[in-house]
Structure 1
Amino acid sequence: MGSSNVDSTRAFVKDVKRVIVKVGTAVVTRADGRLALGRLGALCEQIQELNSQGYEVILVSSGAVGAGRQRLKYRRLINSSFADLQKPQVELDGKACAAVGQNGLMALYDSLFSQLDMTSAQLLVTDNDFRDPDFRRQLNETVKSLLSLKVIPIFNENDAVSTRKAPYEDSSGIFWDNDSLAALLALELKADLLVLLSDVEGLYSGPPSDPKSKLIHTYIKERYEGVITFGDKSRVGRGGMTAKVKAAVYAAHAGIPVVITSGFAADNIIKVLYGESIGTLFHRDANQWAPAGEIGTREMAVAARECSRRLQAMSSEERSKILLDIADALEANDNLILSENAADVAAAQQAGYETSLISRLALKPGKVSSLANSIRVLANMEEPIGRVLKRTELADGFILEKTSSPLGILLIIFESRPEALVQIASLAIRSGNGLLLKGGKEAKRSNSILHKIITSSIPESIGEKLIGLVTSREEIPELLKLDDVIDLVIPRGSNKLVSQIKASTRIPVLGHADGICHVYVDKSANKDMAKQIVLDAKTDYPAACNAMETLLVHKDLMQTAFVNELIVELQIKGVTVYGGPRASSLLNIPEARSFHHEYSSLACTVEIVDDVHAAIDHIHRHGSAHTDSIIADDHDVAELFLNQVDSAAVFHNASTRFSDGFRFGLGAEVGISTSRIHARGPVGVEGLLTTRWIARGNGQIVNGDKGIVYTHKNLTV
């Protein structure tokens, strides 16, 4: 037994044997009050399957009053004269409804279970019964006996003779509805799990009808109590979500896990017992688990937005000072950062991670100082927020300005590189954005210490929640659903990571999937310059996304010793060289599996092309629109390449390794974007800004455009 979708917080279900299932009136009856045969049939089928698998299932069923009311309304109708029907109709007696409905409800259960070759038993209880220890002892013995015979005990409150006052507002008794009865029975009969079936998927952060409400997967009392507003009471029963949550908190506190889930799905009880993350879980240990579910992440995003608004309200000098304080704090904690990073590197080596990942993970001596210096460059930049980009006079005395503005809340998901956290955090502060960061687990200690140092430097007047650090991988899917509070996702990592994120969110994604960068050596190239550039582009930092992956060489250069010499020099530097179809046969090197391949290591592909046009075609067909370079002394050929290669960055006589935010003078980068909307290439502060329109008038109105004379005059900025 099992499921591929098992959630770690649901691991306890493997030890469950005795389960109580409570089914509410809204599930048992249809909107018109009649019993819902399809749903009850599916419920009985699930119980039969669980019974055959060795589970002990006890059912607590509402629905008698609703079903009885439907029947008695009909009886009254056919027994009334026309004159009787003209009089005001008196509300039917609830106890009479219960007595009639209980009979019909149990007849239906008996019939459905009989069809499944099973037997059910009715147990009616009242609040007062539980005050008697002899009753409770007898109850346990009866249930034990029924379960040993594989009979399904079906409990309901004996509403027909219950002395508790209607309309059941009195919650002073031992139980006061079928939800609290189910919780009481779970304790009394020592159940391992209580499942409360509802007419919604579980507990939501707001009214389930509100599209912004999110399902809470794990209820943590300290986090949600007093925060969540429940909807109305049940349509027909007297419970509703408030009653379910009260009962669930009570049972969970006593050590019995509870799941509230929908009774409308045909297999939800089975899914719960297979450990799938459906519905809302209540568990005594929930507050000790890593923050689970989207409310934690939602709260983090909402808090970051509030802090970012306070940050934007600060003066440019105050924002710069925060960055300078962060730079100083990083340098002051250099040894601590490097020791935590060394622990991550050692753990990654022990876990057998690839060399390329470990090289990205390691912070070399001097790295913290260079990060601090790049933050100081950012701090001293021209103020990016509120810059007037365009000024137009719409009409006399009516001026419109287009201004630069922060994007809002950024979610950055990055792998291995801890310095990315520093760069991104400083860029977010400079551009007035709130930030959520999720680093790879291999850099957990490095990211944690860097986050702590940076947030400690943020003034209390803004709040350290400006930058949230997401620690659990399970939270990523929930974050990606928050398209109403997160404005942009920037994944920094492997092609696989970026592709997965693009496929699983409605939030705009800025990033590049591959870094398949080319260097084309034209026949007019200076040979010594070409060798230096090619060696640098491949070997300076092979794991980087701007390292050369494919070398294209003009066919005329095959007449010289140049190509062989270049390949030998690459091999001396430890580079494994593969060839395309032409190069592998001409140069006697192994053939590459694909041109669209990012090695991210000391390896590359070489191919021979006829001319610059063939090189451009090759790049468009096999490249990733990241960074491509031409080495040529022929100015016309170089210009052709620069103008026609449609990549985010295109260079002439320079290494592809220059495609970097710091090297471009952007101060730092959040990543490199190959998308064609918004920012392209290395993304610095400007890529984290959008625009707003600000108009200043003196009483202008549209009035069908009759009362205004448009001038639409461009003004100097």
Structure 2
Amino acid sequence: MDSTRTFVKEVKRLVVKVGTAVVTRADGRLAPGRLGALCEQIQELNSQGYEVIVVTSGAVGVGRQRLRYRKLVNSSFADLQKPQVELDGKACAGVGQNSLMALYDSLFTQLDVTSAQLLVTDHDFKDVDFRSQLSETVQSLISLRVVPILNENDAVSTRKAPYEDASGIFWDNDSLAALLALELKADLLVLLSDVDGLYSGPPSCPRSKLIHTYIKEKHHGEITFGDKSRVGRGGMTAKVNAAVNAASAGIPVIITSGFAPGNILKVLQGEKIGTLFHKEAHLWATLKEVRAKEMAVAARNSSRKLQTMSSEDRKKILLDIADTLERSKEQIMVENDSDVAAAEQEGYEKSLIARLALSPGKISRLSDSIRVLAEMKDPIGRVFKRTEVSDGLVLEETSCPLGVLLVVFESRPDALLQIASLAIRSGNGVLLKGGREAKKTNAILHKVITDAIPDSVGRRLIGLVTSREEIPDLLKLDDVIDLVIPRGSNKLVSQIKESTKIPVLGHADGICHIYVDKSADMDMAKRIVLDAKVDYPAACNAVETLLIHESLVETGGLNDIVVTLQTAGVRLYGGSRASSVLNIPQTQLFHHEYNSMACTIEIVDDVEAAIGHIHRHGSAHTDCIIAEDKQVAEIFLRQVDSAAVFHNASTRFCDGARFGLGAEVGISTGRIHARGPVGVEGLLTTRWILRGSGQVVDGDKGVVYTHRELEIAS
């Protein structure tokens, strides 16, 4: 259960408002399937002891559809040629109310539930006695397990305007539902709509995001939405106004979809669906922001303590982590097996499950990589340059930690170990947010790491972010967090880049290429291509596109590579030339990362064409040439503008551990700060240390600048 929804445990009486768009289809007719599913939920709640009060719209819409049909049937051809007069809304309401209640009654009867109709008008609520009598009647019905169904009696309403007027107590069924929730002392108001809740923009826009908790101080004035629904008087504006008014009076409100089956039940189970309006929501937001800030500040303070430790003491922390990791194998595997089983049950893709799964051997390799990292030369405080600025004035350029890192990663729990170890070696604090699919594995790995951190530094050096909802607040902390590293899908990286002022390091795609030149040793080519594709297809450094020199079509080299891959179970797709020659499906997009046993092949004229293809369709991650012609290979190595460029070697070598970095925090395809596999060096920056003996600038009159390079002491 989400922490903001725990109040639903105390809900006994709820008002459910059903919008016109929910009870009717697009053509205006009633939607018995949706209404049936809704009545089944209410029947289940009724049997569980909940007191459910229904406020329904739809009478005018249903009546209008029926009267239009009746008018059409009774009209002559001449009548239809005349200008059509809009049907009277009150007549529509009278006819529609009858049909609507007949359907509710029929559906509830099938479920062995009794319902009652209560029609009210705006004018009625001006009478104190009426309101008292209404409460008594509803209480009497509920005590008999009868479901009261209320609606505004539009057929006899005396309101002068169809919408809000100066004297109105309510103006539509949304505001009526909010008023009834207050009058009848409900614990919760559920407003059912034709969308999942309130969005930051039009729901159809890909950039619009569902707002899980509405905060008036934050969202008012920032959100734009249409004034009306497709059929009713209200729409999202009316729902938000009603929800804000009810919530401010102490009635929690949730706007959610009436189209999705079981949503009312899910709301009462505490699931985070729809948009919640709550009197204390602004306090929750403040607490979340405070918690996020506290976590980041604690990581910074701990990192500063870590930096004061000797290199040997920091080395010992890493060795202790590696030893604890080995000792905790069985416990880690139990938690990881549980995560993998849950991911398989939920139907996750095989590539994601492959990245999620650990093994005893993999844990041992991770321990070894941490030990390699521990034995590396201390990266902090290294002097890169020493200069005599003036006599007795010496300047040093030295290495220092970045500060606090925020790393958001998907699927790979091993990334948590690598990143935390790199942070410790480089003297940085780090906040880690893994995917929910690895929740249990991440928790046990985090414990293994933090148990090895001495109290003098503090376990909050490595923070574990457990909720996705905390990420937006952390991304605002550009005054505390120094670098964000997203490791995951293109969508994840793009969303983070758009959501923060903090510098972001990472790569969106791993579209790696291998170009097989006409001079290639074909046995070597088959071995490299097979390894690059099959060794670990889900990795970002696995090959996704093979470019084959056209001469290899006639010599049989292309066919040899194809047979090798297909024998290994790789599905092949072709560019326009390769698909025709090999009779394989044509790819729709060259810029595509399969992350699976699939690969694209295309035939190219020469090395220049291969380079052009890589620049057009690649992601600047890792690209390789297989060639015996050294001149051709050098052209490729010099001209391909990627983070890693290889000659006669598998793209799978693009990895921090394999590069000797000990581990990697990620792979960067950017050109600022760090590029390629990012290890310890990529988590450092520089600072200047100046040692003098009382010198002042004084307009540079009294200073003689020598700028003499000095020897760096070992």
Q: Taking structure 1 as the reference length, what is the TM-score of the superposition?
A: 0.65
The CA deviation string for residues 133-156 of structure 1, in whole angstroms up to 9 with x for no partner, is xxxxx9x979989x9999999xxx
Q: CA deviation at 1:707?
A: 2.1
8 A contact 1:522–1:611 mirrored in 2 = yes
Letter of the 2:481 partner, please give it. I
Q: CA deviation at 1:270?
A: 4.1
2:687 corresponds to which of 688, 692, 699: 692
SS at match of 1:606: strand
Q: CA deviation at 1:504?
A: 1.7
Report the counterpart of residue 548 of structure 2 in structure 1: 553
SS at match of 2:332: helix
CA shift in 2, pair 1:702/1:629, >3 Å: same
8 A contact 2:406–2:485 mirrored in 1 = yes
SS at match of 1:401: strand
8 A contact 2:516–2:525 mirrored in 1 = yes
Q: CA deviation at 1:121?
A: 8.4
Partners of 1:594 and 1:311 lie apart in 2 by 48
SS at match of 2:385: strand
The reply on whether 1:616 has 2:611 as its aligned counterpart is: yes
Report the counterpart of residue 340 of structure 2 in structure 1: 345
Partners of 1:606 and 1:565 lie apart in 2 by 13
8 A contact 2:12–2:187 mirrored in 1 = no
Report the counterpart of residue 312 of structure 2 in structure 1: 317
SS at match of 1:598: coil
The CA deviation string for residues 65-110 of structure 1, in whole angstroms up to 9 with x for no partner, is xxxxxxxxxxxxxxxxxxxxxxxxxxxxxxxxxxxxxxxxxxxxxx
SS at match of 1:298: helix
Letter of the 1:517 partner, please give it. C
The reply on whether 1:448 has 2:443 as its aligned counterpart is: yes
The CA deviation string for residues 670-696 of structure 1, in whole angstroms up to 9 with x for no partner, is 110001111100000000111111111
SS at match of 2:407: strand
CA shift in 2, pair 1:397/1:9, >3 Å: farther
Q: Structure 2 matches for 1:60-75, cutoff 5 A?
A: none
Report the counterpart of residue 384 of structure 1 in structure 2: 379
Report the counterpart of residue 365 of structure 1 in structure 2: 360
Partners of 1:259 and 1:636 lie apart in 2 by 64
Indicate the RMSD between aligned Cα atoms, in angstroms: 3.8
Q: CA deviation at 1:514?
A: 0.5
Letter of the 1:604 partner, please give it. C
8 A contact 1:524–1:632 mirrored in 2 = yes
The CA deviation string for residues 163-222 of structure 1, in whole angstroms up to 9 with x for no partner, is xxxxxxxxxxxxxxxxxxxxxxx999957589xxxxxxxxxxxxxxxxxxxxxx99xxxx
2:280 corresponds to which of 258, 265, 282: 282
Q: Structure 2 matches for 1:22-33, cutoff 5 A?
A: none
The CA deviation string for residues 14-46 of structure 1, in whole angstroms up to 9 with x for no partner, is 97669xxxxxxxxxxxxxxxxxxxxxxxxxxxx
SS at match of 2:610: helix
The CA deviation string for residues 520-551 of structure 1, in whole angstroms up to 9 with x for no partner, is 01111111111111111111111100001000
The CA deviation string for residues 365-408 of structure 1, in whole angstroms up to 9 with x for no partner, is 21111111111111110000111111121111111111111111
8 A contact 1:262–1:279 mirrored in 2 = no
Q: CA deviation at 1:598?
A: 0.5
CA shift in 2, pair 1:660/1:118, >3 Å: farther
Report the counterpart of residue 672 of structure 1 in structure 2: 667
CA shift in 2, pair 1:634/1:264, >3 Å: closer
The reply on whether 1:589 has 2:584 as its aligned counterpart is: yes
Report the counterpart of residue 658 of structure 1 in structure 2: 653
2:475 corresponds to which of 480, 491, 505: 480
Partners of 2:293 and 2:7 lie apart in 1 by 22
CA shift in 2, pair 1:618/1:117, >3 Å: same
Partners of 2:333 and 2:355 lie apart in 1 by 14
Between 1:417-426 and 1:270-279, the stretch displaced more is 270-279
Identity of aligned residues (%): 65
Letter of the 1:588 partner, please give it. N
2:458 corresponds to which of 430, 455, 463: 463
Q: Structure 2 matches for 1:500-539, cutoff 5 A?
A: 500-539=495-534
Partners of 1:699 and 1:54 lie apart in 2 by 83
Structure 2 unaligned residues grouped into runs of 5+: 17-53, 58-120, 139-149, 153-158, 160-166, 170-180, 190-211, 223-236, 245-252, 256-273
CA shift in 2, pair 1:619/1:292, >3 Å: farther
The reply on whether 1:354 has 2:352 as its aligned counterpart is: no
Partners of 1:622 and 1:325 lie apart in 2 by 45
Partners of 2:327 and 2:400 lie apart in 1 by 33
8 A contact 2:528–2:650 mirrored in 1 = yes
Letter of the 2:525 partner, please give it. A
Letter of the 2:622 partner, please give it. T
CA shift in 2, pair 1:118/1:643, >3 Å: farther
The reply on whether 1:645 has 2:640 as its aligned counterpart is: yes
CA shift in 2, pair 1:581/1:14, >3 Å: farther
SS at match of 2:520: coil
Report the counterpart of residue 303 of structure 1 in structure 2: 298
CA shift in 2, pair 1:143/1:588, >3 Å: closer
CA shift in 2, pair 1:283/1:191, >3 Å: farther
Partners of 1:431 and 1:279 lie apart in 2 by 44
Q: Structure 2 matches for 1:410-425, cutoff 5 A?
A: 410-425=405-420
8 A contact 2:514–2:546 mirrored in 1 = yes
The reply on whether 1:710 has 2:698 as its aligned counterpart is: no
8 A contact 2:396–2:689 mirrored in 1 = yes
Partners of 1:265 and 1:53 lie apart in 2 by 29
8 A contact 1:361–1:443 mirrored in 2 = yes
Partners of 1:264 and 1:373 lie apart in 2 by 53
Partners of 1:575 and 1:189 lie apart in 2 by 65
How many residue pairs were aligned? 510
8 A contact 1:259–1:282 mirrored in 2 = no
8 A contact 2:303–2:403 mirrored in 1 = yes
Structure 1 unaligned residues grouped into runs of 5+: 1-5, 19-51, 56-115, 124-137, 154-185, 195-216, 219-257
SS at match of 1:474: helix
Q: CA deviation at 1:291?
A: 11
Partners of 1:622 and 1:283 lie apart in 2 by 46
8 A contact 2:292–2:470 mirrored in 1 = yes
Partners of 1:189 and 1:259 lie apart in 2 by 25
Partners of 1:516 and 1:599 lie apart in 2 by 9
Report the counterpart of residue 93 of structure 1 in structure 2: none
Q: Taking structure 2 as the reference length, what is the TM-score of the superposition?
A: 0.65
CA shift in 2, pair 1:464/1:291, >3 Å: farther
The reply on whether 1:601 has 2:596 as its aligned counterpart is: yes
The CA deviation string for residues 425-483 of structure 1, in whole angstroms up to 9 with x for no partner, is 10000001111111111111110100011111110111111111111111122222222
1:429 corresponds to which of 424, 432, 439: 424
8 A contact 2:637–2:646 mirrored in 1 = yes
Partners of 1:461 and 1:325 lie apart in 2 by 16
Q: CA deviation at 1:53?
A: 7.6
8 A contact 1:531–1:566 mirrored in 2 = yes
Letter of the 1:638 partner, please give it. A
CA shift in 2, pair 1:264/1:359, >3 Å: closer
8 A contact 2:122–2:168 mirrored in 1 = no
8 A contact 1:259–1:281 mirrored in 2 = no
Q: CA deviation at 1:494?
A: 1.5
Letter of the 2:426 partner, please give it. S
2:696 corresponds to which of 698, 701, 715: 701
CA shift in 2, pair 1:118/1:263, >3 Å: farther
The reply on whether 1:333 has 2:328 as its aligned counterpart is: yes
